Structure 1
Amino acid sequence: MLYMFSVKKSPLTYFLEKVSNGNSLWNTTTLGNEKGRERVYDTIFRVPWRCELLIDVGCFVCFNSFLSLLTIVPARVVMTFWKLLRTRKFKRLSTIELSDFGCFIIVACGITVLQQIDISLIYHIIRGQATIKLYVIYNVLEIFDKLCQSFNGDVLQMLFHSAEGLARCPPETQSMRFWIWRFISDQVLAAITLSACIVAHYNALPALLVSNNFSEIKSYVFKGFKKDNVHSMMYFDSIERFHISTFILFVLAQNILEAEGPWFQGFLINALSVYLCEVAIDIIKHSFIAKFNDITPTAYSEFLEALCKQTLHMQSEDAKKNLKFVPLAPACVIIRVMAPVYAANLPYNPLPWKLFWIMLFSAITYILLTSLKILIGLVLNKHATWYVNRCERRKHHLHAD
């Protein structure tokens, strides 16, 4: 059957006919339905809110782990030494104590490595490079950083396993020699891996200078992802958000030492711009990943529930879905970049008084960090308890219906 267009129609008649027949855009689009409406609202409102909430909670979980390394671990090491000095009797260390000593030694090795690096020189070299060169360097080092982080986590697990074996093996046996050798070798391997990871952390500073965000959207949005992949990606974004905080602290320390004139307002504006840009990119990325892969907002609530259960140390059905964050490298970087700031503010006094001021500054810093650790830990536990109970009540109501 052939359809013929009447050529006898005048332009005015054609226009009036189109006006009376309705919206001509329907010829090139399809009529929406309730499912399409929900999909639009999910992309614009529900997924961004739940995505940002999950990333923020994950970032605070990383921060809590970071503060534990700077407060809990040193306290446990000092307490162990105090017990040895008080009893004057060497006692077999437990798994946790060996792990604490291992982390303490690794951080000390990392800081020692960083002492050989001229931070100011690196900072000014980065600032003097062309934008396109920084873009290439950042992409290379970002991949290197991800690989080192992944391997560093595996090495640390291996170190803890060796500590457990050393703590449980019977004394004066061949197996004890084996576990001692294995613990020391794992310690060396962890220190070497950490050094490589620290290099990536240091040179990732161009993340503040060059925006790599749109290439990130391009590399993620138009690919197919399963729910578990999105879960892992959310955790990675939480860790990345924490790393950005360490980069900003790096720049703050350099500005305190070297900047002249009023600089703090400009620093705050730039730091806020970096954060807002990162938030916007994460929201856009996950909103469209959810749209193209038919991932509902409920999935992000399930991710947050799993993270809350991990915070409460509840057994998870799949340990691979846990947030894995090793704070050793960021701790080494932060200690290294903040040490010159403290040194610059020490009074010019004789050595005994200088030692006194060092101990005073260290004590004040430790008290502040411990207070912050307690506050964040309590808030995270309270939020996790509330959210898990809320999810359980919802599941109970659904089963009741």
Structure 2
Amino acid sequence: MALRSGGRKISFDLLAGDISGDGSPSTSSPHPSILENGADDAPHGRRKRRAKASRKKKRAASDSLSILNHIDPFMPENGLCEEEMGEVVPESRLMVETVCESTVVEKPEHEISQTSRVSYVELRQRNLANGGPGEEAVKEEPSTSESSTGQWRPEANVRITRLETEGSFDWNKLLAKDPNLLGEVSYAERSPLRYFIREIYSGNSLRGTISVGNEKKRQRVYNTMFHVPLRCERLILAGFFVCLDSFLSLLTLMPARIIMTIWSFLKTRQFQRPNAAELSDFGCFIILILGVTTLQLTDISLIYHFIRGQGTIKLYVVYNVLEIFDKLCQSFGEDVLQVLFSSAEGLANSSSDNMTFELMRFILDETIAIIAFIVHSFILLAQAVTLSTCIVAHNNALLALLVSNNFAEIKSNVFKRVSKDNLRSLVYHDIVERFHITAFMLFVLAQNLLEAEGPWFESFLTNALEVFMCEVFIDMIKHSFLTKFNEIKPDTYSEFLEDLSKQTLNENPEDHRKNLTFIPLAPACVVFRVMAPIYATLLPSGPLLWRLFWIISWSGLTYIMLAIWKVLVSLSLRSLATWYLNQRMERKQHKD
């Protein structure tokens, strides 16, 4: 073995010889230095030399192991490289070399015979047997180093992985020094009752699964419960009156303009090409007349008994199907009406040579619009009849309808990723749906006036209130969690209301994406179809002229009443829109 320290080198050579388990030299392989002497044939001299060599080997091994006990190349603090921790220690020649601050174990330079290998572990054990340093734990990898004859194989090298520190391992002493060595698990295993009492007094029982919130979390809860529902409902209410204003405009302003155009033609008796607005009014009036006529030919009682004969499950399935077709017809009707207005503008501004083409295109677009809105009117009528059937039924059909319809709406919208524009479209759709439900309630009221017997008004109010409250509640839940999951602020609904106010005042005609689109033609057809039988019951019997007089009188009174409603609604909307825009402007200036 060689020890180098600061430039000096000390070598300890373990003479290659087989040492038996009791420390006596082995006779299986003589030492090479003995064979070099020519007088080795004498047995007596050979035994003396062997004994002398054996004593030298023991003394050298004892000295080398004493040094190794102080300079252990396998301990991490001596600077041994990580890849050499598992190196096999040569048995016959151990080289320990220390250069500056590190100790490195050198590999043997040549092979040693199998019979002359002495393991490092055996040397340590013999050193302990001869009164060497204290006991050290040595971990060895399992190996089959010895054969059945007791000889060492070439591959049977002992791999030393770690040399433990001096001293025995006492578990009780370690626990006495550090009682919390194993943490709370050990504490619980020793005393479950004390662990349970400690958990009671340790604080929040959900601290492992729920963290403590902050001011942002508190604001999020308040937005979900208060700010978003209130602002959303305020926006839907304002949009409802915008739809009502459009509906009243269709019933009041459009007939007035048509009557004025006809009166101007009769007065001058000269045909003048109508402008785009007048052509659009004529187109919408034709759609309305044909739609009401088609619905008048429809037997409502037949539809009512057909729907009522279905089971409860089929009843709300039919209503959901009709609602889907209603959404499709709304989207298609918007496109159709825009195309019709474009054709009207093209016909009004066309030249004499191109008038025939523009006229044919206007007629074609008008035909498509008539078909589309008649279908839409029939779908709305079927929806109204279905809702009336559920209200009249006494088997909780209305509750089943509301639960299935509204919670299916929550499922289809809440758990989807929506943007700000998608949320705007969703709110506008809820506004239109709220207006359609109002039209359906008017249909149910008319049916009760015509056919109900006994006290029915209280029941009607209860059912109507149930329908509206359920719709409001579902809209609040839907928009609250939509904003929560998509991290949309409640101020977004204020921005939507600001855009709706600008639309009311006609201040944003260039941005049509922010406008509330509502086409009142199909609901107007349903309302006319429902109210016509009620007006028929008010007409007195008598000659045709007398009945015609009362028809004109009732129509005039109805028109005046609708015109008054139109003026009140329009003026209220404009004043509120102006006030709200001023409030928004002041708030923005205050923030700036």
1:18 — aligned with what?
199
1:198 aligned partner, one-letter code: S
Give the drift of 1:145. Answer: 1.2
Task: Say which SS state the counterpart of residue 294 (structure 1) adopts.
Answer: coil
How many residue pairs get matched? 396
Alignment of 1:73-84 (within 5 A): 73-84=254-265
1:109 — aligned with what?
290
Matched, 1:396 2:575: no
2:418 aligned partner, one-letter code: F
1:355 aligned partner, one-letter code: L
CA contact 1:162–1:182 (8 Å) conserved in 2: yes
Work out the CA distance in 1 between the residues paired with 2:312 and 2:186: 58
Q: Match for 1:329 among 514, 522, 525? A: 522
Alignment of 1:124-273 (within 5 A): 124-170=305-351, 173-205=352-384, 206-207=386-387, 209=390, 210-211=401-402, 212-273=405-466
Give the drift of 1:202. Answer: 1.3
Task: Say which SS state the counterpart of residue 491 (structure 2) adopts.
Answer: helix
Give the drift of 1:39. Answer: 0.3
Work out the CA distance in 2 between the residues paired with 1:147 and 1:207: 20
1:123 aligned partner, one-letter code: Y
Alpha-carbon displacement from aligned partner over 1:238-293 (angstroms, at most 9, x marks no partner)? 00000000111111111111111111111111001100000000000000001000
CA-based RMSD of the aligned residues comes to 1.4
CA contact 1:194–1:328 (8 Å) conserved in 2: yes
Greater mean alpha carbon deviation, residues 19-28 or residues 89-98:
19-28
1:25 aligned partner, one-letter code: L
Work out the CA distance in 1 between the residues paired with 2:186 and 2:235: 57
Alpha-carbon displacement from aligned partner over 1:266-325 (angstroms, at most 9, x marks no partner)? 111100110000000000000000100001001111111111111111125631221111
Give the drift of 1:14. Answer: 3.2
CA contact 1:47–1:286 (8 Å) conserved in 2: yes
Alpha-carbon displacement from aligned partner over 1:134-166 (angstroms, at most 9, x marks no partner)? 122122221111111111111111111111111
Alpha-carbon displacement from aligned partner over 1:148-186 (angstroms, at most 9, x marks no partner)? 11111111111111111111123xx22111111111111
1:182 aligned partner, one-letter code: R
1:349 — aligned with what?
542
2:191 — aligned with what?
9
Q: Match for 1:64 among 245, 250, 272? A: 245
Alpha-carbon displacement from aligned partner over 1:355-386 (angstroms, at most 9, x marks no partner)? 11111111111111111111111111111111
1:36 aligned partner, one-letter code: K
Which structure has the larger Rg?
Answer: 2
- Which ranges in structure 2 are unaligned for 5 or more consecutive residues? 1-180, 391-400
Alpha-carbon displacement from aligned partner over 1:115-142 (angstroms, at most 9, x marks no partner)? 2201122223323321111122122221
Q: Match for 2:571 among 363, 373, 378? A: 378
Task: Say which SS state the counterpart of residue 5 (structure 1) adopts.
Answer: helix
Give the drift of 1:15. Answer: 3.8
2:359 aligned partner, one-letter code: I
- Which ranges in structure 1 are unaligned for 5 or more consecutive residues? none
1:281 — aligned with what?
474
2:292 aligned partner, one-letter code: I
Task: Say which SS state the counterpart of residue 26 (structure 1) adopts.
Answer: coil
Q: Higher relative contact order at CA 8 Å, sep ≥6: structure 1 or structure 2?
A: 1
2:191 aligned partner, one-letter code: K
Say which structure is richer in helix.
1
CA contact 1:120–1:254 (8 Å) conserved in 2: no
Alpha-carbon displacement from aligned partner over 1:43-62 (angstroms, at most 9, x marks no partner)? 00000000001111111111
Matched, 1:95 2:283: no
Evaluate the alpha carbon distance shift between residue 17 and residue 253 of structure 1 in structure 2; reply closer, same or farther with a 3 A threshold. Answer: same
Work out the CA distance in 2 between the residues paired with 1:259 and 1:55: 32
Give the drift of 1:10. Answer: 5.0
2:312 aligned partner, one-letter code: T
Task: Say which SS state the counterpart of residue 98 (structure 1) adopts.
Answer: helix
Give the TM-score normalised by structure 1. 0.96
Task: Say which SS state the counterpart of residue 210 (structure 2) adopts.
Answer: coil
1:125 aligned partner, one-letter code: F
Give the drift of 1:195. Answer: 1.1
1:300 — aligned with what?
493
Work out the CA distance in 2 between the residues paired with 1:14 and 1:342: 81
Work out the CA distance in 2 between the residues paired with 1:384 and 1:142: 31
Work out the CA distance in 2 between the residues paired with 1:67 and 1:307: 18
CA contact 1:306–1:316 (8 Å) conserved in 2: no
CA contact 1:308–1:388 (8 Å) conserved in 2: yes
2:113 — aligned with what?
none
Greater mean alpha carbon deviation, residues 174-183 or residues 71-80:
174-183
Greater mean alpha carbon deviation, residues 133-142 or residues 28-37:
133-142
2:535 aligned partner, one-letter code: Y
